[in-house]
């Protein structure tokens, strides 16, 4: 169970995904789960994916195709795609309803990135029904559709319009307008998955954790750059503001999630990996991901330190009544508006940026 959003905007395709894995509980129709799963990645050169539904089914298909590629690991982008089409055409999909899965793909085999969908009930098909919103195209799948689709389709045009105005008046952002759209989408989703709507989304829709994305343009694909999502809450007064910080950072095929709250309890960090990217073990057993992380920890954390604190910083509001505007900062020059290492391990915000946040709570 999950929520996957395919976003097509100005020649760039992005696949935005949550990080929750759910299973049925013994309490009514509630779901249990945890927020430690990376469901997106690179399927093969020129093709990225995001997977929803039965995790074993989608993982088996991906690993089966990667194993098939080992017979001929070198090919053109179009050659890889044609081999996948033939593979999917003869693949034996599971038929039980509880085993259903979907995988959203984006390929540049045709030049401009295009979305396709693998559905265990229908096979591989092109995605030709993108929802057109504000110059962008959206396609969603997963258990979160009922809870999130309608509001997303209603709100996202306004977000894109804001980004266009922001880029006009911010020379640092102007060259990144195309790339900012998935960050704005992830911010909108993280507002809901980490604050007021969190419990409902997790327990009844199987959606949760931090949203993140992988992107594709005509000549390459890549995971997102480091991003900070600052969530803010207030009793209704501009003088009573509480906040907590989340940071998303990719290193190789690992997703690092860091968070820090206002209570001074310090920074916390977790690492998730796309388990479809790991080669099979010789003994046929599954990888111990905790053990794998500990083996690589020193090198991975050194690479984290080498990355910028953030490229995109967005402010989200816990209470839907105060979601009146977008507040963000984009930088490639390290002029950060947030310092996660304030006195007593608190998060410190620059005065001008903090005033923008306070203004949102004023009548």
* Phi/psi at 324 (5° precision): -95, -20
79 pLDDT band (50/70/90 cuts)?
A: very high
pLDDT in the model for residue 345: 55
**In the predicted structure, residue 262 carries a pLDDT above the cut 60:** no
- Phi-psi region for residue 296, left (φ > 0), alpha (ψ -120 to 50) or beta? alpha
What pLDDT was estimated at residue 346?
65
What are residue 314's DSSP bridge partners?
229, 328
Sorting pLDDT into bands at 50, 70 and 90, what band is 119?
Answer: very high
CB 221 within 8 A of CB 15: no
Query: In whole angstroms, what is the distance from residue 207 CA to residue 62 CA?
Result: 22
Average of per-residue pLDDT values in the chain: 89
Q: What is the pLDDT of residues 343-362, one digit of tens each?
A: 655 678 999 999 999 888 88
Residues 305-321 have a mean pLDDT of 92
Q: What is the CATH number of the domain that holds 79?
A: 3.60.20.10
> In terms of Cα–Cα distance, which of 88, 2, 10, 18 is closest to 47?
88
Q: How confident is the model at residue 251 (pLDDT cuts 50, 70, 90)?
A: very high
CB 231 within 8 A of CB 223: no
Residue carrying structure tokens 């003994």 = 283
Q: How confident is the model at residue 283 (pLDDT cuts 50, 70, 90)?
A: confident
Torsion angle of the four alpha carbons 132, 136, 139, 140, in this order, in degrees rounded to the nearest 10: -110
**What residue spans of the chain are helical by DSSP H?**
55-69, 77-90, 145-168, 171-174, 177-193, 198-205, 289-306, 351-359
pLDDT in tens, 164-222: 888 888 776 666 788 999 999 999 999 999 988 999 999 989 999 999 999 999 999 99
| Calpha distance 138→3 (Å, rounded) | 13
Interatomic CA distance for residues 49 and 118, integer angstroms:
10
Instruction: Provide the whole-model pTM.
Output: 0.93
User: Count of domains in the chain?
Assistant: 1
Q: Which domain holds residue 138?
A: 4-359
Report the distance separating Cα 9 and Cα 185, nearest Å. Answer: 12
């Amino acid at each position: 169970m999950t929520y996957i959003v395919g976003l097509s905007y100005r020649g760039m395709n992005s696949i935005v995904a949550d990080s929750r894995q759910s299973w049925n509980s013994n309490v009514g129709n509630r779901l249990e789960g945890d927020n430690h799963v990376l469901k997106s990645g690179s399927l093969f050169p020129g093709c990225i994916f995001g997977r929803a539904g039965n995790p074993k089914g989608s993982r088996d298909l991906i690993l089966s195709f990667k194993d098939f590629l080992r017979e001929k690991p070198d090919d053109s982008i179009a050659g890889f795609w044609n081999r996948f089409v033939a593979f999917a055409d003869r693949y034996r999909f599971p038929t039980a309803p509880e085993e259903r899965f979907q995988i959203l793909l984006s390929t540049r085999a045709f030049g401009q990135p295009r979305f396709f969908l693998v559905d265990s009930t229908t096979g591989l098909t092109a995605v030709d029904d993108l929802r057109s919103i504000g110059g962008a195209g959206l396609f969603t799948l997963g258990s979160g559709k009922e809870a999130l689709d309608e509001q997303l389709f209603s709100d996202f045009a306004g977000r894109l319009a804001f980004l266009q105005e922001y880029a006009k008046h911010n020379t640092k952002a102007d060259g990144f307008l195309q790339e900012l759209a998935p960050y704005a989408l992830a911010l909108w989703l993280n507002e809901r998955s980490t604050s007021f709507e969190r419990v409902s989304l997790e327990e009844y829709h199987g959606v949760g954790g931090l949203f993140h994305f992988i992107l594709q343009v005509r000549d390459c694909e890549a995971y997102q750059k480091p991003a900070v999502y600052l969530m803010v809450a207030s009793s209704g007064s501009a003088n009573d503001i509480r906040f907590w910080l989340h940071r998303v950072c990719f290193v190789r095929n690992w997703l690092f999630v860091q968070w820090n709250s206002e209570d001074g309890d310090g920074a916390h960090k977790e690492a998730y990996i796309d388990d479809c990217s790991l080669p099979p073990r010789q003994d046929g057993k599954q990888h111990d991901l905790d053990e794998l992380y500990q083996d690589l920890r020193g090198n991975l954390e050194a690479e984290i330190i080498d990355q910028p604190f953030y490229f995109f910083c967005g402010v989200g509001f816990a209470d839907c009544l105060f979601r009146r505007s977008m507040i963000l900062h984009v930088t490639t020059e390290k002029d950060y508006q947030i310092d996660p290492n304030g006195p007593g391990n608190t998060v410190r915000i620059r005065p001008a940026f903090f005033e923008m946040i306070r203004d949102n709570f004023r009548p």
